[in-house]
């Protein structure tokens, strides 16, 4: 599995330093010469001093280059200045390939589209394939997870035709092509030097590709699991499950799947009877906003999940999709280890989504008294009626006398990381505040709760408990 680390710097000294760092996790290093402040000259000393094979890239701004360069400038570089050697590849855009006379065995003919998947993708492939270039590279923007399908098909086409191909879906929705691509025939995959040095949307670091996703161990038999949601990149679930796969010696990988249209994802990529990919997909975690919508797409749902009205776990087995809910058990386990009993406890629940459904169901099983609080009582009313609980406006709530206050909203993480669903004064007099958010480990709500004299409980314990149950369902083994 080849991992290429692109380096993008403004001068040759910085480029040389970045290359030294990139060598630790790379098989190849890409010099993004379009990042340089000046026209790229004097590369010989830099090139000769590097310990890894190189890809030279002088990208046009239309194809993702970092500074404007004319076609003539790029042509002059490739015909008169670019170093040539056995360990050097040239990545040349398709608009220039036919104007050059290089060593074709070291040329990557490339095309990039940062707006989406072009309608003439097959024609673009054929145009690049008509050149003598040794490798064909096509990178397109994935605006939803299903945009990965034509990219995987390009890899399959190249393999059948005996052509070396790099095919990538850029963006968070395209992560699967970066991780699974090499095992499906991609000539290489790209990994950033650091989190803040990605040279294309959705580019993971080389370190993560190898240490988190275990890229070098993935093959066609690898069991694939993943997290379905929007957004998903903040999740620590890949760390939990990929570490478990490695510890248990299981040939598996767990990926983030950024899904907008869950119906199309399940039809085209998940269900064995209709999917358009031949991959060993075994299980899915489902998070917001899809926990309820996914239920209509399954062949069977366990009774507890039906009662809850939300599914957070899918198992693909014998061409059937099986639905479970591990949120309820994962949520209640940390509570029962701290409270001797929840019978008769007054619980204030903030939120009315899929997680809230599992929370109410689990608390009622423990005979707690639940009151639902929401910013929009009208939207929360159907959930309150489904479980026969009182529903009140959040803005005017005060939790003095509550045994437990639970946050089942995303407020406190992601785009809302510096926010709390309630004001600090609303928490005074509450015994314990339980925030189901796990990233960050301590939210603003939890800090405010400590200042108000409340006990606090974060979402990490729930995350691990529910993940343990998911892992068992997918593998019949324990996570820990």
Average pLDDT over residues 446-456: 96
The conformation of residue 457, written as its DSSP 8-state character, comes to: E
Residue 452 has pLDDT above 80, yes or no: yes
Which residue(s) pair with 269 in the sheet? none
Contact 90, 77 (CB under 8 A): no
Average pLDDT over residues 162-169: 97
Superfamily of domain 332-463: NAD(P)-binding Rossmann-like Domain (3.40.50.720)
Split at pLDDT 50, 70, 90, the class of 126 is very high
Average pLDDT over residues 212-225: 97
What would the pLDDT profile of 69-79 be if each residue is shown by its tens digit? 788 888 888 88
The C-alpha atoms of residue 177 and residue 169 are separated, in whole angstroms, by: 6
Q: What is the mean pLDDT of the chain?
A: 94
Q: Of these residues, 137, 267, 291, 306, which one is catalytic?
A: 291
Which is it for strands 223-229 and 281-286: parallel, antiparallel or unpaired? parallel
Residue 169 has pLDDT above 80, yes or no: yes
The answer to whether the Cα torsion of 454, 460, 462, 465 is positive or negative is: negative
Residue 39 has pLDDT above 90, yes or no: no
Q: What is the pLDDT of residue 121?
A: 97
Domains 3-218 and 227-325 fall in the same CATH topology = no
Q: What is the pLDDT of residue 63?
A: 80
The C-alpha atoms of residue 233 and residue 210 are separated, in whole angstroms, by: 17
Average pLDDT over residues 251-274: 98
Residue 65 has pLDDT above 80, yes or no: no
Q: Where are the domains of the chain?
A: 3-218, 227-325, 332-463
Contact 117, 147 (CB under 8 A): yes
Place of tokens 């339980």: 434
Q: What is the pLDDT of residue 229?
A: 96
Which residue(s) pair with 315 in the sheet? 283, 322
Alpha helix positions (H), 279-326: 303-308
Q: What is the pLDDT of residue 480?
A: 58
The pair of structure tokens assigned to 188 is 């290489």
- Closest by CA to 445, choosing from 461, 429, 458, 462, is 458
Average pLDDT over residues 222-251: 96
Cβ contacts of residue 60 below 8 Å, gap of 6+?
34, 69, 71, 74, 93, 95
Q: What is the pLDDT of residue 61?
A: 82
- Please report the beta strands in 181-339, taking only residues with DSSP state E, as ranges in sequence order: 189-190, 223-229, 252-258, 281-286, 300-301, 313-317, 320-324
- Tell me, yes or no, if 291 is annotated catalytic: yes
Contact 265, 286 (CB under 8 A): no
Residue 68 has pLDDT above 80, yes or no: no
DSSP string covering 425-452, please?
A: GGGTT-SEEEE---SSSS-HHHHHHHHT
The C-alpha atoms of residue 167 and residue 158 are separated, in whole angstroms, by: 10
Q: Residue 43, exposed/middle/buried by CB under 10 A (0-12, 13-18, 19+)? A: buried
Span 3-218 CATH architecture: Alpha-Beta Barrel (3.20)
Q: What is the pLDDT of residue 474?
A: 97
Percentage of the chain beyond pLDDT 90 is 81
The C-alpha atoms of residue 26 and residue 21 are separated, in whole angstroms, by: 9
The pair of structure tokens assigned to 194 is 């650091």
The torsion angles phi and psi of 336, rounded to 5 degrees, stand at -70, -20
The pair of structure tokens assigned to 88 is 């050097």
Which range is least confidently modeled, 150-159, 291-300, 335-344?
Answer: 335-344
What would the pLDDT profile of 5-37 be if each residue is shown by its tens digit? 999 999 989 999 999 999 988 999 999 999 988
What would the pLDDT profile of 380-416 be if each residue is shown by its tens digit? 999 999 999 999 999 999 999 999 999 999 999 888 8
User: What CATH number labels 227-325?
Assistant: 3.40.50.10860
Helices 327-336/460-475 angle, 10° precision: 130
The C-alpha atoms of residue 296 and residue 338 are separated, in whole angstroms, by: 36
Give the max Cα distance, the chain: 82
Average pLDDT over residues 445-472: 95
What would the pLDDT profile of 361-376 be if each residue is shown by its tens digit? 999 999 999 999 999 9
């Amino acid at each position: 599995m080849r991992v290429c680390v692109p380096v993008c710097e403004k001068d040759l000294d910085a480029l040389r330093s970045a290359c030294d760092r990139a060598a630790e996790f790379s098989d190849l290093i890409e010099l993004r010469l379009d990042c340089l402040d000046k026209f790229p000259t004097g590369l010989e000393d830099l090139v000769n001093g590097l310990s890894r094979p190189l890809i030279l890239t002088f990208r046009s701004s239309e194809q993702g280059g970092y500074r404007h360069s004319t076609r003539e400038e790029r042509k002059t570089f490739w015909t008169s200045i670019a170093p040539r050697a056995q360990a050097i590849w040239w990545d040349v855009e398709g608009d220039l390939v036919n104007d050059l006379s290089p060593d074709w065995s070291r040329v990557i003919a490339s095309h990039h589209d940062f707006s989406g998947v072009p309608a003439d993708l097959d024609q673009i492939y054929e145009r690049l394939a008509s050149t003598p270039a040794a490798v064909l590279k096509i990178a397109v923007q994935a605006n939803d997870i299903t945009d990965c399908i034509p990219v995987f098909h390009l890899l399959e086409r190249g393999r059948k035709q005996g052509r070396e191909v790099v095919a990538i879906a850029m963006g968070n929705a395209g992560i699967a092509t970066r991780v699974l691509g090499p095992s499906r025939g991609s000539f290489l995959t790209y990994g950033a030097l650091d989190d803040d040095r990605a040279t294309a949307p959705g580019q993971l670091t080389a370190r993560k590709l190898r240490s988190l996703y275990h890229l070098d161990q993935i093959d066609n038999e690898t069991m694939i699991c993943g997290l379905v949601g929007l957004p998903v990149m903040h999740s620590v679930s890949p760390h939990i499950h990929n570490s478990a796969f490695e510890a248990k010696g299981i040939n598996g990988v767990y990926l983030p799947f950024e899904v907008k249209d869950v119906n199309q994802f399940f039809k085209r990529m998940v269900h064995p009877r209709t999917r358009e990919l031949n991959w060993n997909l075994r299980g899915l975690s489902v998070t917001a906003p899809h926990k309820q919508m996914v239920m209509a797409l399954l062949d069977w749902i366990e009774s507890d999940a039906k009662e809850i009205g939300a599914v957070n776990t899918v198992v693909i087995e014998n061409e059937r999709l099986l639905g479970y809910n591990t949120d309820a058990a994962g949520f209640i386990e940390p509570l029962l280890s701290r409270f001797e009993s929840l019978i008769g406890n007054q619980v204030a629940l903030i939120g009315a989504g899929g997680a809230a459904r599992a929370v109410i169901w689990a608390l009622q099983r423990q005979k707690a008294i639940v009151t639902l609080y929401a910013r929009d009582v009208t939207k929360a009313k159907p959930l309150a009626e489904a479980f026969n609980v009182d529903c009140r406006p959040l803005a005017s709530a005060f939790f003095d006398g509550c045994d437990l206050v639970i946050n089942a909203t995303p407020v406190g993480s992601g785009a809302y990381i510096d926010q709390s669903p309630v004001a600090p004064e609303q928490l005074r007099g509450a015994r314990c505040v339980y925030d189901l958010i796990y990233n960050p480990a301590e939210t603003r709500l939890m800090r405010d709760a400590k200042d108000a004299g409340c006990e606090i409980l974060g979402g990490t314990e729930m995350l691990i408990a529910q993940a343990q149950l998911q892992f068992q369902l997918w593998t019949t083994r324990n996570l820990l």
